Amino acid sequence: MKDRDNRTVEEHVVHVSVGPVTLEGNLVVPTGATGVALFAHGSGSGRHSPRNRFVAEVLQRGGLGTLLIDLLTRQEEAVDLQTGHLRFDIGLLAERLAGATDWLKQHPQTRNLTVGYFGASTGGGAALVAAAERPDVVGAIVSRGGRPDLAGPALARVRAPTLLIVGGHDYPVIHMNQEAYDQLRCEKKLEIVPGATHLFEEPGALEEVARLARDWFQRYLVRAERARAA
């Protein structure tokens, strides 16, 4: 992988302790990174998701670090494949995400970088809840085909600039995002990608998601970093 200055960047497997569990993740920090995006995967997804890895690579080329992490352990994922209940446990996912955020703020490569969240599906709801719990740390949020409605009362407490991205043909999720958007009290934007369905599998759709996410993080993570340095 090359960054925006055509330098090679390395991916490292990391182990993040959150309470009684240890989570596995893939960390990439380009030289001179201007922020780091922590990915919150959604229903039935994980750090090896081709869609999220594609977005992560676009962010890396844009000078942003990325941490793709599995918020469930392998044992929990095996249980969830049968029951499907853990992926909707927003409290649990948000707790794990907040713990991973604390890890980033202690890790030598990322402790001086402002953290952003990239949430997909139920991970979008978890990202908003975690951001409400870490208002002084999280500088921006992007939700792709997310379920921000699952954040409930936490929506009104989110301070980080939030971008909600939804496919133009993802009708139930559009409505859920519009309702959540109305409850947000932070700087916010709702982007509807024309012709796209829930997984953004249509030609050019995921590329548009990645571009929107990159631009949002570049704008707001850098701004947050400058505000902290002032």
Cβ(59)–Cβ(52) below 8 Å: no
Question: Above 90 in pLDDT, residue 64?
Answer: yes
pTM assigned to the model:
0.92
The full set of domain ranges for the chain reads 11-44+56-229
| 73 C-beta neighbours (distance < 10 Å), count | 16
The answer as to CATH 3.40.50.10880 being correct for domain 11-44+56-229 is no
Of residues 227 and 135, the one with the higher pLDDT is: 135
pLDDT at 2: 55
pLDDT at 224: 66
pLDDT at 88: 77
Q: Among 24-33, 78-87, 111-120, 187-196, which is the least confidently predicted range?
A: 78-87
| Sheet architecture: strand order including 162-167 | 11-18, 21-28, 65-69, 36-40, 115-120, 138-144, 162-167, 188-193
